Amino acid sequence: MPNAIVKYVRMVDAVNRRVGRFAMYLVFVMMGVLVYSAISRTFFDLPLIWVVEIAQMTMAAYYLLGGGYSMQLGAHVRMDLLYGRWSPKRRAFTDSITSLVLLFYVLTLLYGGVSSTQYALEYGQKNYSVWAPPMAPIKIVMTLGILLMVLQVIATFFKDLAAARGKPLS
């Protein structure tokens, strides 16, 4: 593999690892916000109008920013009826094709994300609710998560290709 590709794979892995390990802690934000809201309403009779949306936004950030890292962790299930019986080399070869197929899907996600974010920025879109927060910030975060996923899928493709040629990266 050319040097530039090796460097790219290393960089994407490192960035997604960092971002993913940050996203990992967002589960505490969800817990904190929700328990705070329950306490505030039950004991102080103060319902909070922003809780649902903050929790929703945290959730969206959690799984989209965590996407790339979850690919690295190999967390996504596959059906291994045939796959499980193949030799490592055959698996790597098939993987390099399935990664390209996957790339198509995440690219359409990215396209939709960018256009939806542009719309939110242009028209100052607000969520349809009492609190009515602007939607652009969370859309930017979501699209960023998808972009990182795209980069990770490309890196995965290079890794699979290298393994299929018998010279695994890393």
Q: With contact defined as beta carbons under 8 Å apart, do 120 and 136 qualify?
A: yes
DSSP per-residue codes, 43-71:
HH----TTHHHHHHHHHHHHHHHTHHHHH
Rounded least distance, CB 33 to other proteins, Å: 8
Q: With contact defined as beta carbons under 8 Å apart, do 33 and 51 qualify?
A: yes
Our CB check for other proteins shows the closer of 100 and 169 to be 100
Rounded least distance, CB 40 to other proteins, Å: 11
Our CB check for other proteins shows the closer of 15 and 55 to be 55
Binding site for other proteins (CB under 8 A): 20, 23-25, 27, 30-31, 34-35, 37-38, 42, 52, 55-56, 59-60, 62-64, 66-67, 69-70, 73, 75-83, 86, 91, 94-95, 97-98, 101-102, 104-106, 108-109, 111-113, 115-116, 142, 146
Rounded least distance, CB 3 to other proteins, Å: 29
Contacts (Cβ under 8 Å, ≥6 apart) of 33 = 51, 54, 55, 58
Our CB check for other proteins shows the closer of 7 and 31 to be 31
Rounded least distance, CB 22 to other proteins, Å: 10
Our CB check for other proteins shows the closer of 1 and 51 to be 51
Query: In whole angstroms, what is the distance from residue 140 CA to residue 114 CA?
Result: 8
Angle, CA 9 vertex, CA 6 and CA 156 arms, to 5° = 120
